[in-house]
Amino acid sequence: MRLRLVAALALVAGTSASAAAQRPEKPPRGLATDGLAGESVALLPLTMAVANPDLRRDTMIVALGDQRHLLRWADSVIGDEFRTRAPEVNWVLAPRLRQLARRNPGFMPDPDQMGQAILRTPKLTKIPDPLRGSLRALIAVTGGRYAMTPAALGFSRDSTGQLRVDLALALADGRQGTVIWRSITYASGATPGEALAAALTAIFPPVGTGP
């Protein structure tokens, strides 16, 4: 399985370099969670995680394991940050989505096999089928109308040598089949967990702020 992650590095070699060249070093677009307060929002599992070729033997990345373990680790960090930073929203996390899918075969799609990584596309506003139909079926089971998608996670090194993560996020209206918010957030840290947590913190209002 680890070979699958290494093979994916070639795919991102060009993409990551291009993203770095175009990467806007301005604050990521924030998420206004007040409009989601009290809503049930599905937080889909991550299905795409890649790293620059120079990190393929990095001990911190290798320690995360093969592709499946890396994705599950990222799901855990992402879920914890969303619940901590926006507790006013009823986030339906990836483990719960998988449980619901197993209990509702034929009615709810496998949340790891919906093709949600396509939402990383910057200008995509209308969600294409079959993903659109899958999102509609998913929210019919989970309740609410929205689904937050961590669409792609990338690892690289910043100019100081620290580990950097870039995370593409998209909030979808499952009923309308549209993307209503997106952001590419990024941060650096001494460890993958520190960098990812900092990147997620950047999209939420500071703790203690309010009207």
Count of domains forming the chain: 1
Dig out the tokens for 80 from the structure. 């914890």
With respect to residue 209, please indicate whether it lies within any of the assigned structural domains. no
With respect to residue 67, please indicate whether it lies within any of the assigned structural domains. yes
> Which residues sit opposite 171 in a β-bridge?
148, 181
Q: What domain range includes position 36? A: 2-201
CB 168 within 8 A of CB 24: no
Nearest to 188 by CA among 200, 196, 178, 176: 196
**What stretch of H or E contains 140?**
helix 131-142
103-to-43, 52, 79, 93, 165 alpha-carbon distances in Å: 18, 38, 21, 16, 34
With respect to residue 117, please indicate whether it lies within any of the assigned structural domains. yes
This prediction has a pTM of 0.85
What is the chain's pLDDT, residue by residue, as a tens digit (211 residues)? 333 333 333 334 334 434 443 445 778 999 999 999 999 999 999 999 998 887 867 777 777 778 889 999 999 999 999 999 999 999 999 999 999 999 999 899 999 999 999 999 999 999 999 999 999 999 999 999 999 999 999 999 999 989 999 999 999 999 999 999 999 999 999 999 999 999 999 999 876 544 4
With respect to residue 208, please indicate whether it lies within any of the assigned structural domains. no
With respect to residue 191, please indicate whether it lies within any of the assigned structural domains. yes
With respect to residue 108, please indicate whether it lies within any of the assigned structural domains. yes
With respect to residue 206, please indicate whether it lies within any of the assigned structural domains. no
With respect to residue 210, please indicate whether it lies within any of the assigned structural domains. no
